Amino acid sequence: MGNTKPITAAPVLSDRVRVNGVETPVTFTAEEGILRWRENCLSIEKEVLGITVEGSKIKIRAIKENDGGGIICCGGNTGGTVRRRSYNLEMLSEDSLRIWSQKLHEFIDSLGRPKRLFVFVNPYGGKRSASKIFIDSVKPLLDDANIDYTVQETKYQLHAKEVAKSLDILRYDGVVCVSGDGILVEVVNGLLEREDWDSAIKMPLGVVPAGTGNGMAKSLLDAVGLPCTASNATLAIIRGHKQSLDVATITQGQNRFFSVLMLAWGLIADIDIESEKYRWMGSARIDYYAIQRIIRLRRYNGCIKFVAAPGYETFGEPADPEGETISEVKSSFAQHKGYCGPALQMKDFNRKIEGPFVSVWLHNVPWGGEDTLAAPDAKFSDGYLDLVVIKDCPKLTLLSLMTELSKGGHVKSPHVLYFKVKALVLEPGTQLDDGSKEGIIDVDGEVLARGKGTYKSNYKTLMTYGKLHIKVDQGLATVFSPSTIS
């Protein structure tokens, strides 16, 4: 009881107002940020979106638990749990109007909410519904919150990256991606390739789920028990809570790519990328192609070397230190003006797992998509990546494991190695049963490298199918989140 606040905390303001023609007392308690009149009680931080003055009235736009009244919030995209509401408090004097509007605005300003946002909308991703989601679910809430925003529809792949590289970051309090995960990844890469990357990457990034893969939005919202909806994600952005996010740097020679979600090689990458040929089937294409790939299971030669996180040093086998140093890789970036990634020393890579492999899956956040809990123990800013490795597994067991992905049960299987690493070297090889064919490396839902004989192997990729160095930089980026998450 020692920490309980007294119920009779002194209000900062107390006055009489007119609501619907009826005069009634109203109080605003500063310590809790609570506004009360008659049967109404509003939390400024959690429920009030914005306040404007219209004549002698203070108009309060808010969200409330669904009580059967008000405007349905965002076409029902919140799962029917909250509604947009509007309240008009008519002040009885000009002094009251001035004092109340000033105090309420000061309190909202003290919450650190964004006032100006740059919004990317990807009209081509997923079910091509991002534009409608923005109009129906995002725009009304931003308008209610008095947020100024600039909207940029992406017109082609890497458009968002180009814009992020030249964006005047001083004009905005955050960048919002109304899309799947792809636009977020482009923005991170664009910000980190700037000369002023160290200040640019501090720009808070918001993610509104509107694509095929919504792993980041799902991870952020699920961490606090919220459904993965466009309105819940938008409310998190409006409230302005921020969360640090680890960023992985993948390097190969002079090429680099910054990842915030995952890297896959083997079964998961093959299913994700090769199932695109069945895109006409919708989301069912993943399950359909997964069965095909398991029936005709591929295993890949190769090796992974890693720096284990504390507590995971017994995974794998001892690895002999190599003469190679990543300082060579780092120095090759001298011509680049952006972020080069953390320094690496090959002597630190003292553990290894040799193939053949069925699947290697590296994750930065728990959810790979809205229905794939790939790495249940992953944290947003712990400075480690979660590694999920399958070396061998009976086909029927593997089919069963795939059904466990939606709740993370796959990591409990004796056929699955699941542990945390600080850094990783991936040395991908050929298919065990056909040495003339190689594999696909999938990073954040896009192909990073295609080997010989793979799906669309003639397409150009950023990196070649060869050795990759991966290291994570703790808390490098910042995302808007429902609350601070570990």
How many Cα atoms sit within 13 Å of 435 on the Cβ side? 0
Q: Are 451 and 438 in contact (CB under 8 A)?
A: yes
356 upstream amide cis, omega within 30 of 0: yes
Residues in Cβ contact with 419 at an 8 Å cutoff, skipping those fewer than 6 apart: 308, 309, 312, 315, 386, 387
Residue whose C-alpha is closest to residue 206's, from 237, 244, 162:
237
Residues in Cβ contact with 217 at an 8 Å cutoff, skipping those fewer than 6 apart: 207, 208, 209, 228, 233
CA distance 122 to 154: 5
How many Cα atoms sit within 13 Å of 333 on the Cβ side? 19
Q: 249 — phi, psi (to 5°)?
A: -105, 125
Q: Are 189 and 257 in contact (CB under 8 A)?
A: yes
CA distance 40 to 47: 12
Residue whose C-alpha is closest to residue 56's, from 86, 27, 96:
96
Of 181, 246, 382, 444, the catalytic one is 181
CA distance 421 to 387: 7
How many Cα atoms sit within 13 Å of 253 on the Cβ side? 6
Query: Does the annotation mark 181 as catalytic?
Result: yes
Helical (H) or strand (E) element with 263:
strand 262-266
CA distance 340 to 88: 53
Residue whose C-alpha is closest to residue 239's, from 403, 45, 443, 438:
45
Q: Are 441 and 455 in contact (CB under 8 A)?
A: no
Residue whose C-alpha is closest to residue 440's, from 277, 270, 275, 294:
270
Residues in Cβ contact with 47 at an 8 Å cutoff, skipping those fewer than 6 apart: 62, 63, 64
CA distance 47 to 44: 6
Instruction: Write b or e for each residue in 375-387: b if 16 or more Cβ atoms lie within 10 A of its Cβ, otherwise e.
Output: bbebbbbbebbbb
CA distance 134 to 155: 16
Alpha-carbon torsion (363, 369, 373, 378), positive or negative: positive
- Residues forming the active site: 181
